[in-house]
């Protein structure tokens, strides 16, 4: 097949030999590269992945390209299996709405002003909060008072314990996807010793201006595609992109994804979940009511868990048969090789890929690269 595809510059695989245009090349680097090439083809790299077979100096580039694919293939075979829990923040981890708690530091007549409320009516929540922060600054409400107010918001009972248990005992990856803002979430997490438990926070970026001291906020992103979400944050898109990125960049695949929320803006992410995942809706809140009322219409795939507090949710999670092995061992499992690939072949590919990677690094020192960062 390769000979038909490349009649002029061709390659032939023998035991540790690469032939290019009938010229045999033997070297320590060539030896490891060739092994990597053989194992790469055996491991399932598609012929469509081969873009160009050169001659002369191109032989090193060819071997390097195959070696890189071999190493990538080995890493994929060793993909790590983990579990992910994604949390909303307001009324999920914390018992109140962080935005409205801080807004209520304003005088009542300012909160009720027509100009401010028009922003809410026009579905511009981020712009609304930006104006709230401007008015707080005008009223000389200090940064320290805002931070103290955030730290004083209570948790939903049991959620600090739940987060620590999932992170430290069950080794879950934990993320937060929230329409609050980065200042509020970071301040609360740090004050409750949870910052190290959270892998990533996706929210509206905010900061206190160093000169004026005013709190500024901007949208996480702009979107018009998802009608279930606000224009500044589609939680479903964020969750989906995170899971894909973990798979492609870090070779982490999540066996189960738990999404924990309470509101209508938590509907989108659970509609993107798989049948092996879990949608965790707070009892008596909008998310639960919407899902129960429209479950058949929405064609909800994940298993639905209804929770009252963090203790209740942890009890339900620990009782899941899908997590029995994880709970008993206390460590995440390594991903098994794909069907038809023996464990010893994984090690062989990995060994070849690592050796070839050394050759690739040496080759890159003398070979110009067209890649950009």
Q: What is the pLDDT of residues 331-353, one digit of tens each?
A: 554 444 444 444 444 344 334 33
Average of per-residue pLDDT across 124-145: 94
Ranking 105-109, 189-193, 220-224, 252-256 by mean pLDDT, the lowest is 220-224
**How far apart are the C-alpha atoms of 161 and 103, rounded to whole Å?**
29
Residues 6+ apart with CB under 8 A from 95: 153, 154, 155, 156
**pLDDT at position 330, please?**
63
> Which DSSP category does 90 fall into?
B
Other residues' Cβ atoms within 10 Å of the Cβ of residue 284: 10
**pLDDT at position 225, please?**
87
Ranking 109-113, 123-127, 166-170, 219-223 by mean pLDDT, the lowest is 123-127
Burial class (CB in 10 A: 0-12, 13-18, 19+), 38: buried
Q: What is the CA radius of gyration of the chain?
A: 27
**How far apart are the C-alpha atoms of 354 and 71, rounded to whole Å?**
6
DSSP string, 147-214: HHHHHTSPBPTTHHHHHHHHHHTS--EEEEEEEEEHHHHHHHHHHTT-GGG-SEEEEE-EEE-TTT--
Burial class (CB in 10 A: 0-12, 13-18, 19+), 234: buried
**pLDDT at position 328, please?**
78
> What would the pLDDT profile of 92-104 be if each residue is shown by its tens digit?
999 999 999 999 9
Identify the active-site residue in 49, 88, 196, 347.
Answer: 88
Residues 6+ apart with CB under 8 A from 267: 228, 287, 290, 291, 298
Identify the active-site residue in 90, 99, 262, 266.
Answer: 90
Ranking 156-165, 225-234, 246-255 by mean pLDDT, the lowest is 225-234
**How far apart are the C-alpha atoms of 156 and 200, rounded to whole Å?**
20
Average of per-residue pLDDT across 68-78: 56
Average of per-residue pLDDT across 253-260: 97
Strand partners, 17: 14
**pLDDT surpassing 90 at residue 241:** yes
> What percentage of residues in the chain have a pLDDT greater than 70?
66
Name the strands in the sheet holding 173-181, side by side, starting at the edge strand that comes first in the sequence: 200-204, 173-181, 80-87, 252-261, 278-282, 303-307
pLDDT, mean over the chain: 77
Evaluate the CA torsion angle 228, 229, 231, 234 in order and state its sign.
Answer: negative
Question: Do 191 and 160 touch, CB atoms closer than 8 A?
Answer: no
Residue among 369, 356, 362 nearest 68 (CA): 356
The residue written with tokens 């709230």 in the block is 132
**Predicted confidence band at 326 (pLDDT cuts at 50, 70, 90)?**
confident
**How far apart are the C-alpha atoms of 283 and 260, rounded to whole Å?**
11
88 is catalytic: yes
**Predicted confidence band at 325 (pLDDT cuts at 50, 70, 90)?**
confident
Task: Encode 262-277: b = buried (16+ Cβ within 10 Å), e = exposed.
Answer: bbebbbbbbbbbeeeb
Question: Do 166 and 85 touch, CB atoms closer than 8 A?
Answer: yes
3-state per-residue secondary structure call for 135-162: HHHHCCCCHHHHHHHHHCCCECCCHHHH
351 is catalytic: no
At 346 the three-state DSSP class reads: helix
**pLDDT surpassing 50 at residue 361:** no
pTM metric for this prediction: 0.70
Q: What are phi and psi of 117, to 5 degrees?
A: -75, -20
**Predicted confidence band at 281 (pLDDT cuts at 50, 70, 90)?**
very high
**pLDDT at position 72, please?**
55
Average of per-residue pLDDT across 37-65: 44
* Distance of alpha carbon 189 from the chain centroid: 19
């Amino acid at each position: 097949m390769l000979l038909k595809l490349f009649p002029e510059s061709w390659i032939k695989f023998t035991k540790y030999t690469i032939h290019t245009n009938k010229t045999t090349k033997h070297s320590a680097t060539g030896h490891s590269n060739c092994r990597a090439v053989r194992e790469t083809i055996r491991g399932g790299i598609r012929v469509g992945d081969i873009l160009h077979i050169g001659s002369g100096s191109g032989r090193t580039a060819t071997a390097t390209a195959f070696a890189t694919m071999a190493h990538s293939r080995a890493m994929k075979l060793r993909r790590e299996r983990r579990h992910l829990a994604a949390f909303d923040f307001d009324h999920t981890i914390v018992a109140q709405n962080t935005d409205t708690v801080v807004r209520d530091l304003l005088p009542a007549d300012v909160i009720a002003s027509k100009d401010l409320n028009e922003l809410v009516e026009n579905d511009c929540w981020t712009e609304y909060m930006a104006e709230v922060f401007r008015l707080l600054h005008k009223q000389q409400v200090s940064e320290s008072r805002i931070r103290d107010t955030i730290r004083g918001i209570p948790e939903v009972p049991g959620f600090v314990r739940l987060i620590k248990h999932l992170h430290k005992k069950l080794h879950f990856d934990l993320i937060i996807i929230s329409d609050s803002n980065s200042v509020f979430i970071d301040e609360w997490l740090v004050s409750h010793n949870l910052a190290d438990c959270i892998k990533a926070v996706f929210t509206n970026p905010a900061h206190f201006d160093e000169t004026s001291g005013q709190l500024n906020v901007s949208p996480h992103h702009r979107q018009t595609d998802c009608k279930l979400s606000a224009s500044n944050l589609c939680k479903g898109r964020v969750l989906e992109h995170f899971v894909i990125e973990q798979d492609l960049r870090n070779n982490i695949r999540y066996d189960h994804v738990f999404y924990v929320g309470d509101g209508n803006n938590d509907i989108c992410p659970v509609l993107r979940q798989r049948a092996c995942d879990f949608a965790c809706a707070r009892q008596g809140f909008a998310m639960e009511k919407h899902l129960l009322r429209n479950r058949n219409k929405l064609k909800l795939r994940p298993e639905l868990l209804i929770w009252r507090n963090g203790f209740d949710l942890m009890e339900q999670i620990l009782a899941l048969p899908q997590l029995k092995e994880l709970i008993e061992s206390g460590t995440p499992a390594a991903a098994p090789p794909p069907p038809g690939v023996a464990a010893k072949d994984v090690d062989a590919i990995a060994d070849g890929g690592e050796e070839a990677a050394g050759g690739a690094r040496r080759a890159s020192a003398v070979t110009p690269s067209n890649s950009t960062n």
